[in-house]
Structure 1
Amino acid sequence: MVRNPKGMRDILPPETFKWRRLEILLSKAAFLYGYGEIRTPILEFSELFRKGLGDESDVALKEMYEFEDKNGDVLSLRPEGTAPVARAVIQHHLYDIPVLRLFYTGPMFRRERPQAGRYRQFHQFGIEAFGVSQPYMDIEVLLIVKRIFSLLNLPLTIHVNSLGCNECRPIYMEQLRNFVLSAIPEDEEIERFKKNPLKLFDSKRPEHAEVKAEAPRISEYLCPTCKDHYVQVIRAAKLFGVPIVEDPQLARGFDYYTRTVFEGYVGELNLAVVGGGRYDHLVSFYGGPDVPGIGFAIGLERLITSLEEVPIVDPEPKKTYFLATTGEDMIEPAFQLAEKLRDHGIGVIMDLRQGKLQKQLKLANKVEVRYALILGEEEQRNHVVTLRDMVSGEQRMVSQEAVLGE
């Protein structure tokens, strides 16, 4: 009798209706923040993943479906989505858009041990944003996660940490390596920990729990720039109601992460359903320009098991505005206004580099948004915005409530 391979599954009706609703809801959340869909091939050159994820990552070492084709090219079924998107950004010069927002949905493949909610072919929804090094983009990404799980009516806790940068992390890594070598010198995984001591925090072995608890914390080694970035992310996340918990042991499994990393857990399940972080050097590592990035991925199989039903949502925003500000002191009021608009089904795109107003409006033209909202101190004081037609150049004051009601 014919059957599917181990770890692969068929999704049948009526479950496919639930999947379709979930995919529409996730896409809608991305559209509300100005993200466009990208579709990359299932097959990529293996080197893409080995370089980006790290040769010592579990995925690169033992989980990739890898083969050599008739031309002698070594190919892999994609095990994750960030590296292919970064490759596409370079190949198609998408970095010419100063602030680039992309999302994807599709199957990934890892030769893991199948278990509840985990398969060898699994599906991910992912967000990738490029071009903004400021912590405001970290906040936008966390707000997207929050919105998705609010729409799904699922309780979520997001664990957050910073992994530092290329300046401060090596100092911490050396201290952590020395600690591990002295704490568990005869451990069977010591060679793995020597190469990457952060792997200690991935360990689920009970005998490592006390060692992890006593290990030095990276927060003590962050350089002033990374420390300030982390503090701003935590402060703003709390301000905007993102359900975060600071987790000094959170490391994530891929080498490309820098600074902010996070994982989200639903309810009492000790299983991450969403994970992501910054990768400020991945594009340049692949030979592209020095473009910072940040993103996350949600495992749909894990998520779908937590859902009794998926709400029906309109597939696209009612309309989309570009929201510009006249100064950095307006960024938090702008975030609050943007979230209100999104609550009403209206898409909002922001230039989170927070340059001068004309620079922001230039991006509005680049992403081809017809109407821009401008928020300055006077507008905020009077609960209005300046509504600008990006084609004719005409503009007028309108109340914020009127924009919400349109």
Structure 2
Amino acid sequence: MSKIQAIRGMRTILPEEAPVWQWLESKVRSITWRYGYQEIRLPILEPVSLFERAIGESTDIVSKEMYNFLDKSGEHITLRPEGTSGCVRTIIENNMCYNNTQRLWYLGPMFRYERPQKGRLRQFTQFGVETFGMPGADIDAELIYMANDIFKALKVERYVRLEINSLGTLSERHEHRHQLVSYFEQHRNLLDEDSLLRLQSNPLRILDSKNPDMQSMIEGAPKLLDYLGSESHQHFDELCRLLDSAGIRYTINPRLVRGLDYYTRTVFEWITDELGSQGTICGGGRYDGLVELFSHKTLPASGFAIGIERLLLLLETVGVKGNISNHPDVVVTCEDPGQNIDALLLADQLRRHLPEFKVLSDFTGARIKRQHSNALKTGCRYIVTLNADSRTGLWDLKANLQETMRPDDIWKKLANRSVKTTAD
């Protein structure tokens, strides 16, 4: 028989890995709550046309990376490659911004058919934040404040740096694009194959090339900041002032363009040098024209997304560990297999009276010595044993003390002993 394996680039989160995921997610949820943002849960399947219109048919995501198929009704659908487009669809479909603003966040899997490597998977988890109805640099700054708070909460702020840029308005970008294409045409012999393909479809992405042979040529390319009008300059200057006021350090990177067509004005990335080529941890910015592509109504919008797997990889690489435990606090055992029902009821009693304790029952039917050996391997603090004489033994492993008492007294004894089982 052929070996059954996970699909390439899609991995299972194992039980021993789950606690750090839960710890990270709890930190992120706590910060979004403090900022007053509301959770939205988006469908995993969306129409292909949603991303063709929003992201752009010429982008790598749409042209190469989406998981597309026809469903049984013949509708052309796809596994979502990112969350912003689905969020915009939801806003329009439910008329959520009629005389109202929205601050939303989501967390879940995204899918792109890429070459799997460390920090880059075909199914990856993304935390995203989207705001609607607020045109100023102040909401852009708030998003950066939030991302900064997340990195502080995870104790990785010194391992990441912030880069910002402005892409201006659509008309300003068109003028810059014209000059950019002209410049790259003059240096066509220096462009690699990928850049030649992007020359007409998405020349801004050439600026983001990591090809070392092209870097000096790219440095001389026309800079978008030089083509900004007064309003775009004012917006960007205000953003810089707000970041300076909060003491958030940043670098203005005129080559920062992001990978999606819908961005306007503010763009930003948090980057680390700890993960090699997969150094972008968080990316975002403003996309004021995106809603108009679907509803012909102007609605300012901005947001950011963090790749959870890449952030976890950073935590692992730099050795940051939360106060995370996956161990049970109490393991309930019994000398006689015929006492399983009594052991089950005792464990239930402990959970009801001691809700902060994690209680695990041993149903293996093994000899008591083996049960105790198994309990020790779990890393628990206490072992409770129903003896054959109906008395109950309590073994405090940390203090190495053993006591015998009535079953009903166990929870009272443990109630005076605090056990911390969750992440701080």
Question: What are the within-5 Å matches in structure 2 for residues 233-382 of structure 1?
Answer: 233-270=239-276, 271-287=279-295, 289-307=297-315, 308-310=320-322
User: What SS does the aligned partner of 1:306 have?
Assistant: helix
| Greater Rg by CA | 2
- Distance in 2 between residues matched to 1:240 and 1:115, nearest whole Å: 36
Structure 2 residue identity aligned to 1:29:
I
TM-score relative to the length of structure 2: 0.71
Corresponding residue number in structure 2 for 1:130: 132
The amino acid across from 1:158 in the alignment is: L
Name the counterpart of 1:165.
Answer: 169
The aligned runs of 1:189-200 (5 Å cut-off) are 189-200=195-206
Maintained 8 Å contact 2:42/2:86: yes
Q: 1:174 & 1:131 partners in 2: Cα distance? A: 31
2-structure distance, mates of 1:26, 1:96: 28
Give 1:13 shift.
1.5
Equivalent position of 2:61 in the other structure: 59
Partner letter of residue 298 of structure 1?
Answer: I
Contact 1:276 1:297 in 2 (8 A): yes
CA contact (8 A) 2:190 2:214 kept: no
Unaligned runs of 5+ in 2: 325-424
Using the alignment, how far apart are the partners of 2:216 and 2:180 within structure 1?
14
TM-score for both structures, normalised by structure 1: 0.75
Ranked by relative contact order (alpha carbons within 8 Å, sequence separation 6 or more), the top structure is 1
**For residues 121 and 255 of structure 1, do their structure 2 counterparts lie closer, same or farther at Cα, with a shift above 3 Å needed?**
same
* CA distance in 2 between partners of 1:269 and 1:8 (Å): 20
In 2, the alpha carbon distance for the partners of 1:238 and 1:79 equals 34
1:330 matched residue in structure 2:
none
1:143-182 residue pairs with structure 2 within 5 A? 143-154=145-156, 155=158, 156-182=160-186
Contact 1:275 1:298 in 2 (8 A): yes
Deviations 1:81-104 (A, max 9, x none): 100000000011111252210000
Q: Secondary structure at the match of 2:170?
A: coil
Tell me which amino acid in the other structure corresponds to 1:300: I
Task: Tell me the SS of whatever aligns to 1:25.
Answer: helix
**2:5 partner letter:** R
Structure 1 CA distance for aligned equivalents of residues 296 and 308 of structure 2:
31
Aligned residues: 312
Residue 273 of structure 1, CA deviation: 0.6
Root-mean-square deviation (Å): 1.4
Percent identity, aligned pairs only? 40
Amino acid at match of 2:253: D
Instruction: Output the amino acid matched with 1:280.
Output: D
The CA deviation string for residues 117-169 of structure 1, in whole angstroms up to 9 with x for no partner, is: 11100000010011111110011000001100011110221110000002311
The answer to which of 129-138 and 232-241 deviates more is 232-241
Distance 1:41 1:182, change over 3 A: same
Q: Aligned pair 1:110/2:116, yes or no?
A: no
Rounded to whole Å, the distance in 2 between the matches of 1:288 and 1:140 is 27
Q: CA deviation at 1:295?
A: 0.3
Matched to 1:245, the amino acid is T
Which residue identity does 2:284 align to in structure 1?
G
Given that residues 7 and 120 in structure 1 are in contact (C-alpha distance below 8 angstroms), is that contact kept between their aligned partners in structure 2?
Answer: yes
1:52 counterpart letter in structure 2? A
Find 2:237's aligned residue among 227, 231, 243: 231
In structure 2, relative to structure 1, the CA distance for the partners of 1:236 and 1:186 (3 Å cut) is closer
SS of equivalent residue, structure 1 residue 264: strand
What is the aligned partner in structure 1 of residue 76 from structure 2?
Answer: 74
Specify the code of the residue in structure 2 equivalent to 1:120. Answer: R
Is this contact kept in 2: 1:181–1:190, CA < 8 A?
no
| Counterpart selection for 1:20 from 4, 19, 22 | 22
Task: Report the CA distance between 1:186 and its aligned residue.
Answer: 7.1
Task: In structure 1, give the amino acid aligned to 2:301.
Answer: G
One-letter amino acid matched to 1:255: D
Query: Residues 31-55 of structure 1: CA distance to partner in whole angstroms, max 9, x if unpaired?
Result: 1111000001000001111111111
Report how far residue 310 of structure 1 moved: 3.3
Contact 1:59-1:79 at 8 Å conserved across structures? yes
User: Which deviates more from structure 2 when the two are superposed, residues 285-294 or residues 132-141?
Assistant: 285-294
The one-character-per-residue Cα deviations of 1:224-278 (angstroms, maximum 9, x if unpaired) are: 0001101111121122122311100000110000000011013544410100110
The 8 Å contact of residues 164 and 226 in structure 1, kept in 2 or not, is answered as yes
Q: Find the residue that maps to 1:86 and give its secondary structure.
A: helix
2:205 matches 1:205: no
Q: What's the CA shift for 1:3?
A: 1.0
Query: More displaced, 147-156 or 35-44?
Result: 147-156
How many Å apart are 1:309 and its aligned residue?
2.0
Q: Deviations over 1:292-313 (max 9, x none)?
A: 100000000000112232367x
CA gap of 1:110–1:126, structure 2 versus 1, over 3 A, is: same
Post-superposition CA distance 1:289-337 (Å, at most 9, x none): 311100000000000112232367xxxxxxxxxxxxxxxxxxxxxxxxx
> What whole-Å deviation, never above 9, does each CA across 1:364-391 have from its counterpart, x for those lacking one?
xxxxxxxxxxxxxxxxxxxxxxxxxxxx
C-alpha separation in 2, matches of 1:311 and 1:289: 48
C-alpha contact (below 8 Å) 1:167/1:223 kept by paired residues: no
Q: Quick one: structure 1 residues 34 and 97, their matched pair in 2 at CA, closer, same or farther if it must change by over 3 Å?
A: farther
